Structures are given as structure tokens and as C-alpha cells.
Amino acid sequence: MANILIVVPVIAHEGITSLVTSQVDELLLKNLNITVVVLSSIKLDYSPFNLPPDKVIELHSSETYLSVKALFNSVKIIKSLVSIVTSKKIEVVFAHAPYGHFNMRVVKCLLKSKNTFRLVQYFHFPQFEQFPNNTLRRKLFHLVFAQLAKISDDVHVSVSQAVKADIENNFIKIKNHKVIYNPMSSVPENIINKYVDSSIKFSNNKFKILLPGRLDHNKGQLFFITVFSQFVKQNKLTQNDVTLIIIGDGDILNNIKDTIVSVGLQSYIELRRGVERRFLLKLMSISNMVVVPSYLEGLGMVVLEALQTKTLVLASDTRGINEIISHKETGYLFRPGDIEDCLEKLNYIFNHRYTTLINQDKVKNVLNNTFSLEKHVEQLMELIEPQSQV
């Protein structure tokens, strides 16, 4: 039985948590010994892992992102990680996000003289598109980190070709860099359909648009509120005709509230906090459309979840998303940040809302051939098994 450690900066209503939860569930079925370390804390009302308490360890770091402050505060975190790795005889580590990458690189360097673990670094986002390596400080910062990566990283895993290109073009290229697409949700369809929540009060005749995801400038919520405002005015829609439900937690919640008020759409737009995945899938299944207006995206878990629930997707034509969606076949794409193009596509979907607009057979083929959970787990096991057979 291989001893596996999964390191994440935080557990919250976001994509990494959704992915890691599915991975833990599936790897447990492979008779693996799994431990999860959360560098900060679990910011949910429940633990999403089917693990005993001693297998889910919170280190309570005040930081969740890699920064100069985080580097100075990492001494205690690294000491705890060294203790966990040695006491649990960890063989393979999956480290997620830059803060997890840094801490585990240091741990591996500190344990280099021993029969140490295999370090698999997981990349979820085109981080250099978001934060270009265009200042002397950043260039020096990443130059040091690249050298650290050369001596510590065994495998890189990116969630899309877009993320892989971002890392290789701007950070480091190693021989063993794989693309492992996030899988569609492991929640069975019958569980989704049976889920009932008293707060779901949608009218059957109302056109329902769902916008899920972390509340962040890169996710495009503020952009889409502007589009939605023009959509309502152009079509002279009332609150009984259409509703927009924005679901998520994040830093721009107050900005979103202020924007909704400024465009006068309080009766058209509903804000909900981040919700349990099966509830999100239920909301998707009873919505007419899921919109994903991101400026940047690693892959887009909500896109996969929407396709799984057979809900039409309108999304920005950005790298990562367009590895999932083929325009007019499995969904609709618009130019990122282009209000007129997004509005045109939204109007078309609304005006043809009683028409079948996407090919569900092609959606099914994409999900089963590229984003199946079975294929995802098989690829993970290929990273684990060589180590477990040593």
C-alpha cells in the first residue's frame, strides 16, 4: 500500500477542492494510504473528505498564496511538513498551487540525503498570463524558484495544454510534464436529480441563467452583469421573464453587489454563497444556461459540470475553456471581454431557447473520451505505481 500525501493551500468552494475531493475518493478505492495536508484551513462547514480526522491535517497558515510574506512565514509550515513526510513514510506527494509547490520543494531539498518521496507538482492556472514575468523582482524570484524546481520536481501535471504552455514558456520545462484533464464530477446523475432544496423556487417559464465560480475579477462576473443589463433592456424583459443567479465566494462580492445596484437589477439577479457540489449540479440541471465569462481559465470545472448536467454553456473563448467547448457543437463561445459578441450570442440562445442548440451525442463523447473519471484515475495511478513498486 503506497503512502500518498496531497498538499493544498486551502479547502474552500473552488476548483482545486472539487478536483482533490474526487481524487481522494477514487484513490481510496485503489487501496492507497491517503493523507491530506491543508496549509491554511478548511473554509467549509464540513470536511469534504471521506478520511479519518488524523488523515486530514490543517497547518493553519495565515497565507494561501505564494508571496514574500508567505516565504517568511513558511518556516513553521515546512517543519510540520518534514515531520509528516517522515513519520508517515510518504512515497508520493501531489502538491497543488504555487504555495504548495514551494513548501514541498524545500521539504524535498531538506530530506534529499534520505530515501525521499516522488514530488508531483500540480498546475491549475495560467499564472504567468495573470501575473506576467515582466519586472526585475519577478524575474529574479522565478529564476531562484526554477533552480529549486530543477533539483526537486519529479513530475509536472497541468490541467490543460494552455496551462502546460504557460509553465514551459515562462518558468521551466522538465522532461516529465503531463497534461491530465480534470474529470467530470463523480456525483451520480440519480443523486443530482433527487437532490431537493427548499430554496429552489424557479418558475418553469422563467429563463434561468446560472453564473457559478469564485468571485474574482478574472472570472468575469462584473463583465457579465454589464452584458446582462443590456440584454434585459434590449429585449424589454421583466423579472418574471429572466433571472441571473450568481453563485460563489470571493474578494469582489461587494463590487458585485454595488454593480447590481448601479444597473438597477436587484430584482433580476440573485446572489448565493458557494454551495455544496451536488446542490450546484442540481441548480445547473434546472437552469437554461450556464455562463462562464472568464478572462483566464486553467480548464474550467464548472464547464465540465454543466456539460455533465446537459445544460447549455455560454463561455469565453479563452485557452483552457476552448479545449472543452467546440463552438456551436458542444456549447457557445464569445471573445473574452467583448460585450457586443457576448450579447449577440446570449440573444441568439435566448431567441432559440425552444430549439436544440447543441449536439448531446458529441457532448457525451467529449466527456467519456477526454474527461472521464476512469481515464483521469488511470493517469494518476501511472504516476503512483512506479514508486509503489520500488
Least confident piece of the model among 54-63, 128-137, 179-188, 335-344: 179-188
Report the percentage of the chain scoring pLDDT > 90: 71
Contacts of 102 (CB under 8 A, 6+ apart): 66, 70, 71, 74, 145, 148
pLDDT tens by residue, 8-62: 999 988 889 989 998 999 999 999 999 999 999 998 888 889 999 999 999 999 8
Res 390: pLDDT? 39
Is the pLDDT at 159 greater than 90? The verdict is yes
At residue 199 the predicted structure's pLDDT band, cuts being 50, 70 and 90, is low
Res 257: pLDDT? 96
- Mean pLDDT, all residues of the chain: 90
Res 389: pLDDT? 44
Sorted by where each begins, the domain ranges of the chain are 3-183+372-388, 189-370
DSSP string, 319-386: TTTTTT--BTTTBEEE-TT-HHHHHHHHHHHHHTTTS--S-HHHHHHHHHHHS-HHHHHHHHHHHHHH
Please name the CATH architecture into which domain 3-183+372-388 falls.
3-Layer(aba) Sandwich (3.40)
At residue 388 the predicted structure's pLDDT band, cuts being 50, 70 and 90, is very low
d(CA 322, CA 168): 20
Is the pLDDT at 190 greater than 90? The verdict is no
Is the pLDDT at 69 greater than 90? The verdict is no
Is the pLDDT at 281 greater than 50? The verdict is yes
Report the percentage of the chain scoring pLDDT > 70: 93
d(CA 82, CA 77): 9
Least confident piece of the model among 43-52, 205-214, 238-247, 249-258: 43-52
Fold of 189-370: Rossmann fold (3.40.50)
Give which of 9, 54, 6 is closest to 32, Cα–Cα: 6
Q: Please indicate whether residue 196 or residue 109 has the higher confidence score (pLDDT).
A: 109
Res 45: pLDDT? 82
d(CA 333, CA 316): 5
Q: What is the mean pLDDT of residues 204-223?
A: 92
Res 203: pLDDT? 62
Res 265: pLDDT? 96
At residue 198 the predicted structure's pLDDT band, cuts being 50, 70 and 90, is very low
pLDDT tens by residue, 109-136: 999 877 689 999 999 999 898 888 888 8
pLDDT tens by residue, 356-384: 999 999 999 999 999 999 999 999 999 99
Res 189: pLDDT? 56
At residue 187 the predicted structure's pLDDT band, cuts being 50, 70 and 90, is low
Is the pLDDT at 87 greater than 50? The verdict is yes
Is the pLDDT at 232 greater than 90? The verdict is yes
Task: Output the pTM of the full model.
Answer: 0.85
Res 193: pLDDT? 55
Q: What's the CA dihedral at 83, 89, 91, 92 to 10 degrees? A: -40
Res 185: pLDDT? 66
Equal fold, 3-183+372-388 vs 189-370? yes
Give the total residue count for the chain: 390
Res 141: pLDDT? 83
The cell for 171 is 518558468
SS3 assignment for 138-171? HHHHHHHHHHHHHHHCCEEEECCHHHHHHHHHHC
Is the pLDDT at 3 greater than 70? The verdict is yes
Res 295: pLDDT? 94
Is the pLDDT at 201 greater than 60? The verdict is no
Res 77: pLDDT? 95
Is the pLDDT at 197 greater than 70? The verdict is no
